[in-house]
Amino acid sequence: MMKKVKRTRSGGSFEPPRLVLELPLRTAKLMGTAIPLVQIGGVDKVLALPLPHLPFFPGFHRPVQVKDPKLLAALQESYALHAPFVGAFLVKDEPGTDPSLVSGSKAEKNIYDLKGKELLNRLYEVGIHAKILGIRGDRVVLVALGRLRITEMVDKEPLIVKVGHLKDKPYNKDDDVIKATSFEVKSTLRDVLNTRPYLIRICTKYIDNSEFPRLADLGAVISGAKNLQCQQVLEELDVYKRLKLTLELLKKSMEISKIRELVLETDAKTALSAAKFRERLEGNRDQIPLHVLQVINEELSKLQQFEASSIEFNETHNYLDWLTALPWGIYSDENFDVFRAKKILDEDHYGLADVKERILEFIAVGKHRGTTRGEILCFSGPPGLGKKNLVRSIARALNRKFFRISVGGLTNIAEIKGHFRINVSSMPGKMVQCLKTVGTANPLVLIDGVDKLGRQHARDLTSAVLDLLDLEQNAKFVDDYFFFPIDLSKVLFVCTADVVDNIPKDFLYRMELISIAGYVTDEKMHIARDYLEKSTCEACGIKPEEVEVTDAALLCLIEKYCHEAGVQNLQKHIEKIYHKIALQFGRQGVSYEPAIVDKPGEALVRSTGESSKKDVANTKTIQESEATETIEKVVVDISNLVDFVGDPVFNAERIYDWTPVGVAMGLAWTAMGGSTLYIKATQIEQGEGKGTLSLPGQLGDVMKGSAQLAHIVARSMLFKKEPDNRYFANSKLYLHVPKRATPMDEPSAGCTMITSLLSLAMKKLVKKDLAITGEFTLLGKILPIGWVKEKTIAARRNGVKTIIFPSANKRDFDELAINVKEGLDVHFVDDYNQIFDIAFGDDQETGK
């Protein structure tokens, strides 16, 4: 009974080869001759298909181009009549010719010119019984089924031959010799595949799972041997001998691969490397200094003398790679347009009017001089103020490439000066890496965190950075990797620091300090609205009309969560809000663009996405029938702010509405900016002659000295104001100073200490909403302090109405922006008596 086999003829899909053995014996009328299908194990007639290149092996697929029209027609008809079998035979080389000197196309042409007996004589007797999987144009796709041998010719055109099927000779699978040979074939085959990575994934599974005969055939195919050698493997029916032949071919293939690789490494690789380096020099050879060009030529000569596998070759190659990659004589055109610079600064940063003005002055001077070289700016201020972004804006304004070198974490001088060229891993320092990265010799380089250098005990590292910044030395900066000077005079260096006091003194006199004090609340509001909220919206993929953060919520966020001088923490909290909102939208299952809203405050409509699964042609119907989901606009206000950012981080610095007896408010500066502080004096023991002062242990020596002096001045002042009051003489006092009150520039809480002590002794309250800052002498004269802007901002932030500054700081206060000074009653004093009159006026209440 015949078995029916389903065939798929469209789209190039064919039935699996495993179904071939189920086909029955049929006959087909082809070119006037009855050609029976191949009968496995018998003697049959088949079309003879000549193979000009390499024999075919059982189990492999192969496309064959058929240029003989009659043969192609016969194959097509055979395929159409469900008799898709053919005999494929390798063509012998033409007698008296060298196959290596005959092109493939010419050889094929000669083959198809042969007919009948002449063609039969040029075919090897042993070939392949193959099945036609498909025909596309003149290409016939075959799968090899088994070996066969030609016995006689049946018809001349197209050539039809009678064949007999060949079987492998019986062999013992457990034979140790065959096992050992097959193991060696597998091992060598894997070595060959390692040189051809594109075949590894395809062939690995066949190596492990193939039986010995198929393993030998696979090895012959992978070896890439010549026609005759592969034909010998095809004709060998003894499995052991076939494995031996394949092993020889694979080993020969490995030897050829090694020889080719060696030749490539020694000749081609060296030549390619040298050519690559010379090509890099072509564009700007005239700009390269002569001493550098001489070094490059010497190293190129060395490169050609070394073997490609040697360490010396790799070291020289890396050295030349750095030398030829540097931008010798390549400069970007500086732009000194101050109007363009102002526009860029205003686009990137809000406020900072005084800082921007100084930057514009710097650019204007550069315009007149023709270069910005000569000054090194250093921006100082608490973290989060945008110092690095400000420097990046300067680079954009000047049309210079930007590069950042952070020196805070450096511990090794080689990071700056480079490593000595003693091994392959050696490389130049950060500055040379910068030049290679930016591709110009005049970038703007940010030396970030110069104050961190003061924390380290590596004097050599500080000296190396100084070599970069010193205008007298950086024109001949020597990187230890190169051993010759590199001109860095066209590089513009800008520095940043958090704490000025920590900057090494050698740096200070080389730089111009530009202090960035911090942002007041209204500046933070503008920055949050105009910069942070917009960028966060875009980053989270949320439309501005979908979310509203009220002014009250934003103000609460600034005052109770982000109290520091900068806005970095504020940005993080705004991001946290939008991340929560994005999650809320995600949980509601909305993912499409919001519909356009005609009226403000109207609810947003988002598609549920069901329409994407329907026919596009019915769009109108879908829009009318699809389910929609209404999403309310998310409003973040004070009532629900905690749900997005948690409980407030900062408690108000303003502890008292009216400071009690013995407490005075001062102003201090820390690394986070200005802050208010309360200094409290209290009595711990009373008795005749027990007048002493105790201090907290965390105070430094300078602050302790200031507190002791405050005690002396307070006793003197009390004697003048109330001669009969012996409170200080008979009271053991404790003066509490918050840890954050220790200023990092110089002491400025002395006047506040005197005021708190006098308040306790006289039982009088200090004036409401008064903040005092300043140091004093033994005679009560007031000394100037620093960080006026930071302390003024801190006072405004905490609702202070009256501030007392030393008279020497009046100029500093006058230079502040109007929005910083607005609403403050500021007194400038020279003597503590003036402070006393303001703090303890006649209208002040007496404490109980």
Catalogue the active-site residues: 748, 791
Cα-flanking dihedrals φ and ψ of residue 632, to 5°? -70, 145
Q: Please report which residue ranges of 608-700 form alpha helices under DSSP H.
A: 619-625, 641-645
Whether cis (ω within 30° of 0) applies to the bond prior to 158 is yes
Helix (H) or strand (E) segment spanning residue 439: none
What sign has the CA pseudo-torsion 128, 132, 136, 138? positive
Distance (Å, rounded) from C-alpha 712 to C-alpha 466? 46
What sign has the CA pseudo-torsion 829, 713, 706, 382? negative
List, in sequence order, every residue forming a beta bridge with 631; answer none if it has no partner: 604
Closest CA relative to residue 491, chosen from 448, 528, 447: 447
For residue 369, the number of C-alpha atoms closer than 13 Å in the C-beta half-sphere is 11
DSSP state of 565: S
Beta strands 802-806; 731-736: pairing state: unpaired
- Which residue is it, tokens 């500066």? 669
Distance (Å, rounded) from C-alpha 653 to C-alpha 742? 16
Distance (Å, rounded) from C-alpha 274 to C-alpha 495? 40
Helix (H) or strand (E) segment spanning residue 443: none
Closest CA relative to residue 788, chosen from 765, 762, 760, 808: 808
Please report, as a single letter, which amino acid is at residue 825: D
Please report, as a single letter, which amino acid is at residue 676: T
Please report, as a single letter, which amino acid is at residue 562: C
Token duo for residue 747: 């002491």
Distance (Å, rounded) from C-alpha 285 to C-alpha 364? 34
Distance (Å, rounded) from C-alpha 756 to C-alpha 665? 8
Token duo for residue 199: 């075949």
Token duo for residue 559: 């005052």
For residue 689, the number of C-alpha atoms closer than 13 Å in the C-beta half-sphere is 0
Beta strands 547-549; 634-636: pairing state: parallel
Please report, as a single letter, which amino acid is at residue 176: D
Distance (Å, rounded) from C-alpha 510 to C-alpha 462? 13
DSSP state of 544: G
Distance (Å, rounded) from C-alpha 671 to C-alpha 135? 80
Token duo for residue 143: 């799968």
Distance (Å, rounded) from C-alpha 741 to C-alpha 255? 79
Whether 380 contacts 500, CB under 8 Å: yes
Distance (Å, rounded) from C-alpha 217 to C-alpha 210? 10
Closest CA relative to residue 128, chosen from 142, 109, 140, 139: 142
List, in sequence order, every residue forming a beta bridge with 694; answer none if it has no partner: 734
Helix (H) or strand (E) segment spanning residue 525: helix 521-527
Token duo for residue 825: 């009653």
Cα-flanking dihedrals φ and ψ of residue 782, to 5°? -95, 130
Distance (Å, rounded) from C-alpha 45 to C-alpha 39? 9
CA–chain centroid gap for 82, Å, is 60
Distance (Å, rounded) from C-alpha 846 to C-alpha 661? 8
Distances in whole angstroms, Cα of residue 675 to Cα of each of 666, 667, 792 = 9, 6, 9
- Which residue is it, tokens 């009051």? 725
Q: Indicate the length of the chain as a whole number.
A: 848
